[in-house]
Structure 1
Amino acid sequence: MEQRLVIVLVLYKKSLSDCPSYNALYYAVSKRKNMHVVVYDNSPEEHGDVLYKNNQVHYIHNPANPGLATAYNEGLSLFQKLSAQLMLLLDQDTEIDFPYLDKIASQTDGESVGAFVPLVYSGNQKISPVFSDNYVGGGLSFPEIGKTSHRLMAVNSGTVLTASGLAAIERFNEEFPLDFLDHWLFWKLYQEKQEIEVLDVTLAHDLSVLDYSQVSLTRYESIITAERRFYQNYDTAMLTVHEKHLLKRMVKQFLTVKNRKIWRRTWQEYRLLAREGQ
């Protein structure tokens, strides 16, 4: 039996038709009555598209740009209204095809797992999912295909949450409007004893924050502040490890990143946490 699927796509300064998943979404709502799309547009200007005339597509424009968590909660409202079974989180730079959507909708393990996650690559680098029993930021280790009760972390985009998983988290945490929302999400699923199933599906995703030389100081401020909030208020067992990792990161940034403000901000963060830990 096919499951009812709600897809939440978040846009920022990009039209829907320019997204690599556009054809898959167009086909999905044209051919499948069980698939609905929420397009949450954080762009300064509203974008039009012929797809918005489809009753299964819900376009929301919010120039205030509240980030991902607010958008996902809008998708959750539709999910609950439709009594859907699955919700797919999707970034504007992630490419999916229609067979992936069909595979998701035909999953039969929705009552026994909190989320399905694909294998995600940024270029040739595998980035998700990863084991997160230990601090995520050093050497990464990756799970096998299939279900696991071990603690995992996966990027938001491509993640499929089940009704069970969504009930467990209740709502997306708007303390993390953008960065570290994925860390909080999978931390919460683990706290609620929700199993994760890794799918034998590979997706491409452009994760620019992997390279600090390409990250603006404003964006880095968002990342490093969200890190502190996560480790101080949620995954507190890893706070000391995070503090030590900041020092290592600062040294690496000093040697490799031209924007000197980046490593200085990391040094400032390290000193802040060190003082608070005294």
Structure 2
Amino acid sequence: MTSSGPGVLVVLHGTEPTASPALSSLVSVLRPGEVAALLVQDNTEGRTSRPSMPDGVTTYVQRPDNPGLAVAYAETARRLRSEGVAWMVVLDQDTVVDRAYVEEVLAIVDGRQQVPADVAVLLPRLTDRGRVLSPHRRVRLRTRAVDDPRPGPATGWVSHLNSGSVLRLEALEAAGGIPEGYPLDGLDHAIAASLRRAGLRAWLLGSTLEHRLSLLDRATLPRERLAAILTTEERLADQLGTPGDRAWLAARRWVGVALIAVRVRTTPSAALELRAARRATALALGRHRRPQP
């Protein structure tokens, strides 16, 4: 039997379930029977005892080995599919959910509002203290937040952050499932790229959710963290991108190097950015060694 409500997954790390803005806000606005399941995966290292849990949580999974987000998404998607659930909501622990978002999602999930068959993901707008984070489009050599808040099918190249997104599980499976080769960094872009490659689209919701993003300023990143992000960008372009994506990455990086050279932009390591631009050029020209995870 297929449940009409979505399954909801909240992934925690380093916080108590009762202190998670996502969990506390969600249970405060949900009404009985509106979701098929509310699952929590706790990736906090070293946590072995069950903490206090908000009312309404149906399943709590403890993973002190911290396998990342992709494993949590993939395992939950498979579980929900086996239970006949058609849609999965994924939430980071710091996203604040409101009733308007819940009602908009439920209207589509239960069929009161129809969306085209090629829509694989529903996307709210995410903001952090007034700055729009997601979804975003490419504009020349930059990515910019989608300015039009009107709900409807996304057109052109669109990517997004994962939190608050609602995945149609049948479509996700047809696109190859969750890209588990991206356990944390780049997972959101990998999911979006996988759906695009499969000819599937996003639907922009009218709802806006507040979300705390840990990496707002690239200039303040530790050098090792920047290196990991640059490598992930190359893997995405190589494994899931088009020739145009690879050319765009190379051009964007050389513009960044130029801005660093004239001191318009700051970076933890100019040498690292220069090497990354050279690698992206080799990738675009087909003369590269495959970036390793």
SS of structure 1 residue aligned to 2:278: helix
Q: CA deviation at 1:29?
A: 7.2
| Equivalent residue in structure 2 for 1:210, among 201, 205, 216 | 216
Q: Distance in 2 between matches of 1:28 and 1:260?
A: 42
1:52 positional shift: 7.3
Cα 1:202–1:52 change in 2 (3 A) is closer
* Alignment TM-score, normalising by the size of structure 2: 0.81
- Matched AA of 1:171: G
2:242 matched to 1:236?
yes
Aligned in 2, Cα 1:247/1:157: closer, same or farther, shift over 3 Å? same
- Structure 1 segment 38-117 matched on structure 2, within 5 A: 38-46=39-47, 48-51=50-53, 56-107=57-108, 108=111, 109=114, 112=117, 113-117=119-123
Given the superposition, is the C-alpha separation of residues 37 and 218 from structure 1 closer, same or farther in structure 2, using an over 3 Å criterion? farther
Verify: 1:272 aligned to 2:279, yes or no.
Answer: yes
How far did residue 71 of structure 1 move? 1.0
The amino acid of 1:264's aligned partner reads A
The gaps in structure 2 that reach 5 residues or longer are 288-293
1:137 to 120, 125, 142: 142
Q: Which runs of 4+ in 1 moved over 6 A?
A: 256-259
Structure 2 vs 1, CA of residues 78 and 27 (structure 1 numbering), >3 Å: closer, same or farther?
Answer: farther
> What's the CA shift for 1:14?
1.5
Shift of 1:27: 4.2
SS at match of 1:87: strand
Counterpart amino acid of residue 14 in structure 1: T
Task: Confirm or deny: 8 A CA contact 1:180 1:226 kept in the other structure.
Answer: yes
The residue matched to 2:66 in structure 1 has which SS? coil
Q: For 2:132, which of 120, 126, 134 is the aligned residue?
A: 126
What's the secondary structure of 1:21's corresponding residue?
helix
Looking at structure 1, the residues matched to 145 and 188 of structure 2 have their Cα atoms a distance apart, in angstroms, of 16
Which amino acid is the alignment partner of residue 114 of structure 1?
A
Query: What is the CA–CA distance in structure 1 between the aligned matches of 2:252 and 2:267, rounded to whole Å?
Result: 20
Q: What secondary structure sits across from 2:85 in the alignment?
A: coil
In structure 2, give the amino acid aligned to 1:70.
Answer: V
Task: Indicate how the Cα distance of structure 1 residues 229 and 126 shifts in structure 2: closer, same or farther if over 3 A, else same.
Answer: same
Tell me which of 184, 188, 206 is aligned to 1:182.
188
Deviation, structure 1 residue 93:
1.5
Return the structure number with greater helix share: 1
Aligned mates of 1:120, 1:202 — CA distance in 2: 6
Q: Distance in 2 between matches of 1:75 and 1:136?
A: 36
Distance change >3 Å, CA 58–CA 252, structure 1 → 2: farther
Structure 2: distance between partners of 1:150 and 1:130: 11
Superposition CA RMSD, Å: 2.9
Alpha-carbon offset, residue 57 of structure 1: 2.4
Where do 1:222-233 residues align within 5 Å?
Answer: 222-233=228-239
Q: 1:2, 1:105 within 8 Å by CA — same for their partners in 2?
A: no
1:82-137 Cα deviation digits (max 9, x unpaired)? 211210111111111344234322312367221111111122221211235x6773
Bigger mean CA offset, 75-84 vs 106-115: 106-115
Cα shift readout 1:211-237 (whole Å, capped 9, x = no counterpart): 113322332222111100011122132
Look up the match of 2:172.
Answer: 166
- The 1:230/1:135 distance shift into structure 2, 3 A limit, reads farther
Match of 2:199 in 1: 193
Give, in whole Å, the separation in 2 of the partners of 1:2 and 1:104. 15
Q: Does 1:36 align with 2:37?
A: yes
CA apart distance, 1:210: 2.9
Return 5+ residue gaps in structure 1 as ranges.
Answer: none
Q: What is the rounded CA distance, in whole Å, between the counterparts of 2:279 and 2:169 in structure 1?
A: 40
Q: What's the secondary structure of 1:114's corresponding residue?
A: strand
Q: What is the deviation of 1:200?
A: 0.8
Q: Aligned partners of 1:52 and 1:120: how far apart in 2?
A: 24
Where does residue 291 of structure 2 map in the other structure? none
Percent identical across equivalent pairs? Answer: 22
Equivalent residue of 1:172, what SS?
A: coil
Task: Tell me the TM-score normalized by structure 1.
Answer: 0.85
Amino acid at match of 1:239: R
